[in-house]
């Protein structure tokens, strides 16, 4: 098997230049063996790193969620007890609802914006470099910095946002301190600091749309919005879908915003699944409960990842 | 190139008026949304606590006193945090290149048995969002299987997981695949070892992708928050993001803001210098994940 594979893949070099005159069965086998030995020599560092920090944790995650563990004695299998504990926690419902609401709001507020910005930017002939640079600036800030900066902006007294509202004679908001605005405030930070990525990706996609499509659409009498609807969107359909899925997966893992801005409050209004998982493990010392939450989140996100994989394969095929 | 709006429409007086209006709105809007917050941050750090609390706020700081920046640097031991972060990011960069380049080279050019399976298993890790594996990965770092080492509060806790990056292996392998076979076969005939071929033929022609991977890996580690929060709990070992966040509650507002400015300078500088590679990495990643 090894020999045939080798021969099929690498047609033998002919003639005197051939450095391997011993083309008998044993020689080929020896070479294949040597090649594999070298290859695995090159691979071993990566195999160790992936095994320790990617593959094994997947198994450990499942084991963790079905065990009771104090990390001194060997873990005890407890079936679905961890799941039961977590589900009976009143914060469980809030966490899932908030995570879903966060993702949903992030889609409503942040999904269309980068696309619209990209479409507009693609039409502009001036200040292109500046605009592209500026839109990506927030992405380059460390997220913790961006979030702490917004914490100051959200200050109900002298914070920037209430001052801006004041300029327009609007009543001040309590932003992070009120159950009705806290989650939206988190979505705003998150959108601000991630907007640039989507915009630049869409911009790259828009630049690959052939110009004659617009030309012929215009000759057929299609106005501006019909051209967007019938040319721009169909031409970028797959990347739009890919970004949708990526955004859902990214926003459902939201952690740093509630961790740094609200601590899950007020009244659990901003507890998210990832944050609750962190709390279980590091505040309550219950890694089993945390593991159970992680596993549930993993299963939900796997659905989106699977669709994503399908879509991006389809895109690659095109 | 022809885009949504035809060049003809832009030449009419009305078209021009609309174009310049939109351009102005976009430039002003972008500046307001993305630059102004940063301006507010940089000037906020120049204000005294009284001036910060003042309503309405002052647009320009009354004094130009860099003393707050000096205070932030000293009180928060920002020097230590920055040095730590540079150590973590630099080491992660070296490990990532050493580990992922050799792996991608082996998978692309040496094609061992089970190569496809290994690549598949590496790419499969991209399907699992990192957050859901946070706890088991933390437990691994705390008590490394087989070796039974505690990596917490050591740089290894950052370096080793950073090297296990399926996306980088994928990017590198795809690039290596595009290097013509003849180039390597010629060297092989001359008797060059695989390591030598990698070093003197593959790496020199792969500069663009190595640049992209390098910057991505450094920036990713530099910006990371959750992982260093868990594995480097000692104050002297903290990365800059975690350090500032954990000390933020106990310091005056203007000192905190100054430390935010200092913390964002390195990544912004990197962006100034390597803008091209960063944007190239962005599209390379998204179009084919």
Give yes or no: residues A190 and A311 share one domain. yes
The domain spanning residue A297 has which CATH number? 1.10.3720.10
User: Both tokens of residue A127?
Assistant: 């200040």
Q: State pLDDT tens for residues A270-313.
A: 999 999 999 999 999 899 999 999 999 999 999 988 888 888 77
Contact at CB, A137 and B38, closer than 8 angstroms: yes
Strand extents, DSSP E, chain A: 67-68, 76-77
State yes or no: pLDDT of A6 exceeds 60. Answer: no
Domain of residue A177: give its range.
86-317
Instruction: Report the 10 Å Cβ neighbour count for B282.
Output: 19
How many angstroms separate the CA of residue B72 from the nearest CA in chain A?
A: 14
Please answer whether residues B228 and B241 qualify as being in contact, where contact means their C-beta atoms are separated by less than 8 angstroms.
yes
Query: Which among A120, A136, A158 is the nearest to B26, CB-wise?
Result: A120
How many angstroms separate the CA of residue A179 from the nearest CA in chain B?
A: 22
Give yes or no: residues A168 and A234 share one domain. yes
Query: Which among A45, A50, A71 is the nearest to B102, CB-wise?
Result: A45
Task: Tell me whether residue A63 is in a domain.
Answer: no
What does the alpha-carbon distance between residue A133 and residue A119 come to, in Å, rounded to a whole number? Answer: 16
Please answer whether residues B250 and B99 qualify as being in contact, where contact means their C-beta atoms are separated by less than 8 angstroms.
no
Q: State pLDDT tens for residues A130-147.
A: 999 999 999 999 999 999
Contact at CB, A142 and B140, closer than 8 angstroms: no
State yes or no: pLDDT of B230 exceeds 60. Answer: yes
Q: Is the dihedral of CA B170, B171, B174, B175 positive or negative?
A: negative
Bigger pLDDT: B60 vs B176: B176
Give yes or no: residues A178 and A92 share one domain. yes
Domain parsing of chain B, residue ranges: 7-70, 72-287
What does the alpha-carbon distance between residue B102 and residue A151 come to, in Å, rounded to a whole number? Answer: 43
Q: How many residues appear in chain A?
A: 318
Give yes or no: residues A139 and A33 share one domain. no
Taking contacts as CB-CB distances below 8 angstroms, the residues of chain B near A56 are 136, 140, 145
Give yes or no: residues A202 and A256 share one domain. yes
Q: State pLDDT tens for residues A244-266.
A: 998 999 999 999 999 999 988 78
State yes or no: pLDDT of A36 exceeds 60. Answer: yes
Contact at CB, A53 and B140, closer than 8 angstroms: yes
Fold designation for B72-287: MetI-like fold (1.10.3720)
- Confidence at residue B287, expressed as pLDDT on a 0 to 100 scale: 44
State yes or no: pLDDT of A99 exceeds 90. Answer: yes
Expressed in angstroms, the distance from the first to the final Cα of chain A is 33
Contact at CB, A166 and B128, closer than 8 angstroms: no
Q: Is A124 exposed, middle or buried (0-12, 13-18, 19+ CB in 10 A)?
A: middle
Q: Is B105 exposed, middle or buried (0-12, 13-18, 19+ CB in 10 A)?
A: buried
Give yes or no: residues A136 and A6 share one domain. no
Angle value at C-alpha B277, between B274 and B279, nearest 5 degrees: 105
For a pLDDT cut of 90, what percent of chain B falls above it?
56
- Confidence at residue B49, expressed as pLDDT on a 0 to 100 scale: 80
The pLDDT-based confidence of B191 (bands split at 50, 70, 90) is confident
> Among A28-32, A65-69, A210-214, B237-241, which range has the highest average pLDDT?
B237-241
Is the ipTM of this structure higher than 0.95?
Answer: no
How many angstroms separate the CA of residue A294 from the nearest CA in chain B?
A: 5
Instruction: Report the 10 Å Cβ neighbour count for A144.
Output: 29
Give yes or no: residues A32 and A121 share one domain. no
Chain A contact for B94 (CB, 8 A cutoff):
no
Give yes or no: residues A172 and A309 share one domain. yes
- Give the pLDDT mean for A217-227: 86
- Confidence at residue B72, expressed as pLDDT on a 0 to 100 scale: 86
- Confidence at residue B263, expressed as pLDDT on a 0 to 100 scale: 93
Chain A contact for B33 (CB, 8 A cutoff):
yes
Give yes or no: residues A151 and A41 share one domain. no
- Confidence at residue A11, expressed as pLDDT on a 0 to 100 scale: 43
Closest C-alpha to B19, from B29, B30, B6: B6
- Give the pLDDT mean for B63-91: 89
pTM of the model: 0.88
Residue B265's closest chain A neighbor by CA? Answer: A141
Residue B259's closest chain A neighbor by CA? Answer: A145
Q: Which of residues 146-205 of B touch A (CB under 8 A)?
A: 160-161, 163-164, 166, 169, 185, 188-189, 191, 194, 198
What does the alpha-carbon distance between residue B126 and residue A58 come to, in Å, rounded to a whole number? Answer: 12
State yes or no: pLDDT of A167 exceeds 80. Answer: yes
Chain A contact for B140 (CB, 8 A cutoff):
yes
Give yes or no: residues A299 and A186 share one domain. yes
Q: How far is CA A316 from CA A309, A310, B43, B113, B288, in A?
A: 10, 10, 47, 26, 7
Task: Tell me whether residue A252 is in a domain.
Answer: yes
Orientation of helix A182-206 relative to helix A90-110, angle to 10°? 40
Give yes or no: residues A233 and A290 share one domain. yes
Q: Which of A4-8, A21-25, A150-154 has the lowest mean pLDDT?
A: A4-8
| Structural domains in chain A (count) | 2
How many angstroms separate the CA of residue B48 from the nearest CA in chain A?
A: 13
């Amino acid at each position: 098997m090894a020999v045939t594979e080798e021969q099929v893949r690498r047609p033998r070099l002919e003639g005197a230049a051939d450095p391997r005159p011993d083309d008998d069965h044993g020689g080929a086998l020896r070479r294949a063996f040597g090649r594999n030995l070298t290859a695995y020599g090159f691979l071993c560092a990566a195999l160790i790193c992936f095994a320790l920090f990617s593959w094994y944790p997947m198994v450990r995650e499942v084991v963790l969620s079905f065990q009771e563990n104090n990390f001194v004695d060997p873990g005890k299998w407890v079936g679905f007890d961890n799941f039961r504990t977590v589900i009976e926690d009143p914060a469980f419902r809030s966490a899932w609802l908030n995570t879903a609401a966060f993702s949903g709001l992030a889609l409503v507020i942040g999904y269309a914006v980068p696309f619209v910005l990209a479409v507009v930017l693609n039409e502009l002939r001036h200040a292109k470099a500046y605009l592209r640079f500026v839109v990506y600036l927030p992405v380059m800030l460390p997220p913790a910095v961006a979030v702490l900066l917004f914490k100051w902006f959200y200050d109900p007294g002298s914070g920037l946002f209430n001052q801006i509202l004041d300029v327009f004679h609007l009543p001040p908001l309590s932003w992070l301190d009120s159950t009705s605005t806290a989650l939206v405030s988190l979505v705003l930070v998150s959108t601000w600091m991630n907007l640039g990525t989507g915009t630049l990706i869409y911009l790259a996609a828009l630049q690959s749309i052939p110009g004659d499509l617009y030309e012929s659409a215009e000759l057929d009498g299609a106005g501006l919005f019909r051209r967007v609807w019938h040319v721009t969107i169909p031409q970028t359909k797959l990347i739009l879908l890919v970004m949708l899925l990526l955004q859902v997966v990214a926003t459902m893992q939201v952690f740093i915003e509630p961790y740094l801005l609200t601590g899950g409050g007020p009244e659990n209004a901003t507890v998210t699944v990832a944050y609750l998982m962190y709390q279980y493990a590091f505040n309550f010392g219950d890694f089993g409960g945390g593991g159970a939450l992680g596993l549930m989140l993993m299963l939900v996100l796997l659905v989106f990842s699977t669709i994503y994989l399908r879509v991006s394969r389809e895109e690659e095929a095109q | 190139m022809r885009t949504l709006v035809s060049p003809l429409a832009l030449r009419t007086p009305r078209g021009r008026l609309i174009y310049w209006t939109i351009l102005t709105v976009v430039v002003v809007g972008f500046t307001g949304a993305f630059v102004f917050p940063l301006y507010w941050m940089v000037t906020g750090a120049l204000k005294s606590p009284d001036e910060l609390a003042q309503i309405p706020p002052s647009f320009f700081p009354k004094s130009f006193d860099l003393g707050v920046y000096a205070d932030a640097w000293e009180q928060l031991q920002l020097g230590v945090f920055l040095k730590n972060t540079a150590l973590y990011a630099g080491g992660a960069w070296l490990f990532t290149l050493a580990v992922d380049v050799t792996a991608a080279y082996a998978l692309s050019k040496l094609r061992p048995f089970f190569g496809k399976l290994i690549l598949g298993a590496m790419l499969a890790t991209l399907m699992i969002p990192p957050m859901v594996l946070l706890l088991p990965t933390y437990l691994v770092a705390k008590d490394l299987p087989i070796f039974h080492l505690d990596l917490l509060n050591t740089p290894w806790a950052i370096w080793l997981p950073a090297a296990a990056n399926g996306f980088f292996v994928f990017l590198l392998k795809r690039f290596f695949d595009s290097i013509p076979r003849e180039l390597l076969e010629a060297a092989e005939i001359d008797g060059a070892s695989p390591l030598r071929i990698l070093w003197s033929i593959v790496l020199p022609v792969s500069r663009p992708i190595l640049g992209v991977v390098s910057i991505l890996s450094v920036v990713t580690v530099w910006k990371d928050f959750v992982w260093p929060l868990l594995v480097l709990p000692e104050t002297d070992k903290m990365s800059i993001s975690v350090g500032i966040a954990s000390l933020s509650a106990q310091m005056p507002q203007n000192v905190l803001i100054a430390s935010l400015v200092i913390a964002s300078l390195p990544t912004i500088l990197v962006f100034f210098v390597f803008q091209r590679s960063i944007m190239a990495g962005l599209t390379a990643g998204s179009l084919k994940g």
